[in-house]
Structure 1
Amino acid sequence: MKAFGNVLKAVIGGLIWLSSHQVFSAPADLRVKTISVPVYNLITETLIDITPRIKGERNEFMMQLVCDLARDSKSQEAVNAILTENNLNPESIPAKGSSLSLLVNNDKPQQQAACASFIATSLFFPVDNSVLFETKKDEKGKDVTTLDSAGFAREMKVRMSIAQATAQFYAVIANNLKKEKNMTWVDYQKDVASITADYAPEYLRSIKRIFAANQATYIPRDITVGGYDVQDSNGRRLIQNSMESLLVSRGVDWLGNGKIMGKEYFVDIQVIDSAAKVKSGKK
């Protein structure tokens, strides 16, 4: 540790000497001022960022109610009743400025956009498959945990439908991103958010359509309490665990590994302000 400390001191000392004796070139003098970034990551991180949170955490209870309002599966009166049952006074929640505002402000477009981002990003967070297992007594009276076949089939139909609709969602965003020069990461995030707001109603409808048309059967390749790897009878495979999320369609990466419906998209992000001129030199 002492040797490392000496090395660190030498490095810092050298940097201080350089800053006082050497003239640095301005970043604006560099020929290339952008870096190429995978659109897959841009979309994913933006959707995670714009998903409402409570105290910095995703909240299933709140977002389920927001989605119920967004899809008109529950009335405002029904949501108010649920809030009251959970010791939350709907009348005390402001229409703006609170993490709970979406539950009372009757802003359908905002609710739909929030619901879309929440559902899409559910593919990138840990899953709890405990509800898919059931415990029964064997012939000797011992507890045996097995997979609930009916519950597994229902749940996988939902998750596969979400994954398919989300792949299309990503493709819509990727193909509608602005092609302007000098756009920063923040600029692109705003663009992703804007496209999400426009497409959200169709995304929610597409999940319902895909689910209704889905007649596939599912085979568990590997399933644990915290993850799964399943294949359906239509040639699709869905993997989700703490390390990855991947939808494969007939051998093609449909969503995951940086690909969107089998294609890699990139955008150029400006990381150096071309207009900035840093004056430096000897005094």
Structure 2
Amino acid sequence: MNMKSIFVAILIALVALAGYDRFLADRATDTPRIWLRIPALPVIQDAVFQLAPRFDEPRKTLMMEQLCALARGEVKQEQVDAFLKQQGIDAQTLPRQGSPLSLLVNADQPGQASACAAYLATSVLSTVNVAEFMHPVTVPAANGQPEQSSLQIDNALLTSALSVKLAVARANADIFALIAAELQRSPGLTIPQYRERAGQLFARLAPTYLQRIKEQLPPANTQYKLLQMDDNRFVFSSSVGSVFEFGRNGLVLSQGGIVWYGKGRLMGQEYPLPVEFFSAAVKDLLTSPTSQQPTSIQ
């Protein structure tokens, strides 16, 4: 290719780019006035919370362990039935639909995967249960003081729990970002419509999400440092450059100083959604002549 041909090719490319920029500018100008741009993250979070099963709190962890084991194919139905019997529940009498326990007996693998994924995803979006990595310690009676019991951090349990929390938070960022990018392909939906769409996408991606958690587990030699643990904040850092913080503003995961999850961001990006935020009637109010504006009350 001679220099003249190269120059012509470059000129055509520049003209095409200029035309595309003009197209984007025109689209921005044509955006309906009743649309507002909001971050996708809170919409997706709400959708996933709605998918999470509602078990009674005293047995919630045990039930979810069984459900997730079913979803991953780690146990058979006979084993789950035996577990339920130990809990005083007859598997044969449970309804196949309409109860949180239904997923433990109805062989609905997509539903089991969706429920397990939603449970795990929301586990890092809720207050941390410190009992996960603590064990009871009894202090013998001495010097006139009665025997006392307390909880003490178990380092092995702590390392395991923090490793899982980090993997789940990373998987959240990965899958939520994928969903956010997909939602952006459908501009102009209402928030309920975006929420419904996000829930559908998460349910379909549930098996991918569960696999993603395994892939995001930090190396076995990763070191963790517990920075704060009280009623207001739970914060830890890792030797792989992650900082996990849960507090009044929810979960914030930083990776290499970049907000990877939280504060409206996923992988450092906001993924704004063009939402139809108001009814069409509001548009007329925005375009009314100034002469028709109501007079102020004296």
Identity of aligned residues (%): 28
- 1:228 matched to 2:234: yes
Contact conserved, 2:245 with 2:252, CA < 8 A, in 1? yes
- 1:253 matched to 2:259: yes
TM-score by length of structure 2 reads 0.73
Moved over 6 A (4+): 55-58, 140-145, 275-278
Deviation of the 1:56 alpha carbon:
10
Deviation of the 1:108 alpha carbon:
0.8
Residue number in structure 2 paired with 1:71: 72
Residue number in structure 1 paired with 2:223: 217
Residue number in structure 2 paired with 1:95: 96
Q: 1:274 to 1:179 in 2, by over 3 A?
A: farther
Q: Which amino acid aligns with 1:67?
A: C
For residues 74 and 265 of structure 1, what CA distance do their matches in structure 2 show? Answer: 39
Residue number in structure 2 paired with 1:81: 82
Where does structure 1 lack aligned partners over 5 or more consecutive residues? Answer: 1-30, 279-283
Residue number in structure 2 paired with 1:62: 63
Residue number in structure 2 paired with 1:197: 203
SS of the residue 2:235 aligns to: strand
Q: 1:236 to 1:181 in 2, by over 3 A?
A: closer
Residue number in structure 2 paired with 1:155: 161
Residue number in structure 2 paired with 1:122: 123
Contact conserved, 1:128 with 1:225, CA < 8 A, in 2? no
**Greater RCO, CA 8 A, separation 6+:** 1
Q: Which amino acid aligns with 2:243?
A: R
Deviation of the 1:137 alpha carbon:
5.2
TM-score by length of structure 1 reads 0.77
For residues 186 and 250 of structure 2, what CA distance do their matches in structure 1 show? Answer: 32
SS of the residue 2:270 aligns to: coil
Q: Deviations for 1:205-228, whole angstroms, at most 9, x for unmatched residues?
A: 111122274531101112247752
SS of the residue 1:211 aligns to: coil
Where does structure 2 lack aligned partners over 5 or more consecutive residues? Answer: 1-31, 285-298
Deviation of the 1:55 alpha carbon:
7.2
Contact conserved, 2:126 with 2:250, CA < 8 A, in 1? no
Q: 1:58 to 1:72 in 2, by over 3 A?
A: same
For residues 49 and 264 of structure 1, what CA distance do their matches in structure 2 show? Answer: 22
Deviates more, 1:93-102 or 1:267-276: 267-276
- 1:172 matched to 2:178: yes
Q: Which amino acid aligns with 1:149?
A: N
For residues 206 and 65 of structure 1, what CA distance do their matches in structure 2 show? Answer: 20
Contact conserved, 2:132 with 2:161, CA < 8 A, in 1? no
Contact conserved, 2:184 with 2:271, CA < 8 A, in 1? no
Contact conserved, 1:52 with 1:58, CA < 8 A, in 2? no
Deviation of the 1:258 alpha carbon:
1.0
Aligned residues: 247
Bigger Rg over Cα: 2
